[in-house]
Structure 1
Amino acid sequence: MRRGKQVFLTVILALSIILLVGCGNKAKASQNDTIIVGSQGSDLDIWEHIAKSSQAKKLGLKIKTKEITDGAQLNNATSQGQVDVNAFQSWSYYQAYNKQNPNGKLIALGTTYLEPLGIYSKKYKSLKDIPNGTTVAIANNPANTSRDLLLLQKAGLITLKKGFNALGNTKDITANPKNLKFKEIDDTTGPRVLNDVPVVLISNTVALESGLHVLTDSIYHEKVDQGTKDNINILATAAKNKNNTNYQKLVKLYHNKEIQKYIKKKYFGTKIEVNKPLTYLKNK
């Protein structure tokens, strides 16, 4: 009888352990079901809204946001698994990061938007009004300097050498028919500089913060085409997660009609939706 009781207690103990381990694994799995989206600035605001949305619930997605304001740190955190998916970078930034970090590569999940860079002026109402010898303020950091120059070329104001890339600068200008002069500035000061410099190139984020609307206040701005595809923003994750279906659902969620309605209203239509396959960015 005593032995039977010991066997009974042993079985109960074993079952308890199994249940505890099962509960522990379930709790762990539950934690792992939450997708941590790392972001910054207006993108962080958007994903905080998305995380609370009914659209996320309908897709069965639990989202938690994490703010990391330095781009390289955010990509590193994604590569190392501290962040599951990040939402902040352009296709060109992503490519540069992967080139510099071959052992911690990320993969793109899908496209999100283009924030147009604009050419602004308080003095001139159109490109044709810009006279010879005009001073143009451009960004003093390499990535934005090259983007500024590419827009000036697109506007027909200058010509750049063949093969101009993200490391290019004013030395790569091969034709400057209006003899424009270039003043390099901290690109966050663009709106203030507008009072002193006739023509200034300003990113949309900086413009919005100063009450400028790129689609109505600039005299020329980027459009979604093959020439601006490198500036299209994406969602990215660690390479090992390329087949994660829940992460892929985030792209669909971003492009949800109601989510887009919110984004367009909050940012006055300046975050232009780009819902294209990744092959659009990869094609030369």
Structure 2
Amino acid sequence: MWKTARSVAWIAGTLLASVVLTIGIHYLSSGLRVHSSAKSSISIVSEGSDYDIWRYIAKSNAAKKAGLKITVKEITDGVQMNKATSQGTVDANAFQSWTYLGAYNKQNPKGKLTAVGTTYLEPMGIYSKKYSNVKDIPEGATIALANDAADESRGLLLLQEAKLIKLKKNFSALSGVSDIVSNPKQFKFKTIDDHTGPRILNQIDAVLISNTIALEGGLHVLTDSIYHEKVDQSTKNNVNVIATSAKNKNSKSIKKLVKLYHQKDIQKYIKQKYYGTKIEVQKPISYLN
């Protein structure tokens, strides 16, 4: 009788332990599932049309599926965006070309940023209300260029490609008008805030305008410019990138962000919204070196 009672107690204890163990495993596995499905928070700063794109991405189903909770901030100054990223105020930024980033890093060696992914190439254009062909721009005409180093050098390279000027052989991302070695039509060059480009078209002979600013001003680079960049190896330095601080370059959330940008649904939206002027470039960073 005593043995039977002890056996029953042992069986009951074993069953209880089994139930407790099963409940514990279920609890742990549930906890793991909740943890694995938790969203990663990440912040990104941009401006203009790029800011609008990232707001769309942040609200998209693709972002939810990727497990990313994206906060999008806007700053209308490239240097300040890079400083905010370098200082950790935001995790990443998406507004600048590879050339612009290189120029910034050279000027700010203590706050260097790292490119973690490519996004697109927007052709820069030469615009004019007075002339319909670059060959028609007369001697002594005034041409406006953006007043930041990267866009100024990019504009000068485009003028060279249009056979209007010639630059020295070691022309770089930090070079400017002083590095023009041949100016047969004696053009005059004026530097301006890039944002004013569309507004001064009636006041100047020709203006070099980046596509983001052109779009904001109601201009389409492929139809309204009198000359624009072609998408080829010669313009790969002008591909836009997602940048972050060196300590964040291997972050899983950052890598997810880069991958998210290239989702088909996201690219379909960008193409329709911006009339094909933001040409997707999905390449490793080594492609730009």
TM-score (norm 1): 0.80
Give the deviation of 1:256 after TM superposition: 1.2
- The aligned counterpart of 1:18 is none
* Structure possessing the higher radius of gyration over alpha carbons: 2
Q: Does 1:76 align with 2:83?
A: yes
Aligned to 2:181, which of 159, 174, 180? 174
1:60 lines up with 2:67 in the alignment: yes
In the TM superposition, residue 169 of structure 1 has moved relative to its aligned partner by 2.3
Q: Deviations over 1:7-60 (max 9, x none)?
A: xxxxxxxxxxxxxxxx9xx99x968x2111222222221111101111112222
Could you tell me which residue of structure 2 aligns to residue 118 of structure 1? 125
Q: 1:88 aligns with which of 95, 99, 104?
A: 95
Q: Bigger shift: 149-158 or 263-272?
A: 263-272
Name the structure 1 match of 2:163: 156
Could you say which residue in structure 2 is the equivalent of 1:130? 137
For 1:217 and 1:132, how far apart are their aligned partners in 2? 23
TM-score, with length taken from structure 2: 0.79
Q: What SS does structure 1 have at the residue aligned with 2:56?
A: helix
**Helix, strand or coil at the partner of 2:45:** strand
Unaligned ranges ≥5, structure 1: 1-22
Q: What secondary structure does 2:131 align onto?
A: coil
Which residue in the other structure is 1:108 paired with?
115
Amino acid at match of 2:189: F
| Alpha carbons 2:49, 2:216 under 8 Å: kept | no
* Paired amino acid for 2:274: Y
Amino acid in structure 2 at the alignment position of 1:55: A
Answer with 150-159 or 128-137: which moved more. Answer: 128-137
Partners of 2:201 and 2:188 lie apart in 1 by 15
Do structure 1's residue 236 and structure 2's residue 243 form an aligned pair? yes
Counterpart Cα distance in 1 of 2:184 and 2:83: 44
Q: Which runs of 5+ in 2 are unaligned?
A: 1-30
Moved more, 73-82 or 51-60: 73-82
Q: 1:248 to 1:64 in 2, by over 3 A?
A: same
**1:209 maps to what in 2?**
216
**Range that drifts further, 132-141 or 144-153:** 132-141
- Structure 2 match to 1:224: 231
Residues 59-111 of structure 1: CA deviation (Å, up to 9, x unaligned): 22222222333333332332333312221222122223333444443221110
Aligned residues with identical type, % of pairs: 67
CA distance, structure 2, for counterparts of residue 252 and residue 30 of structure 1: 19
CA RMSD of aligned residues (A): 2.4
Shift of 1:252: 1.6
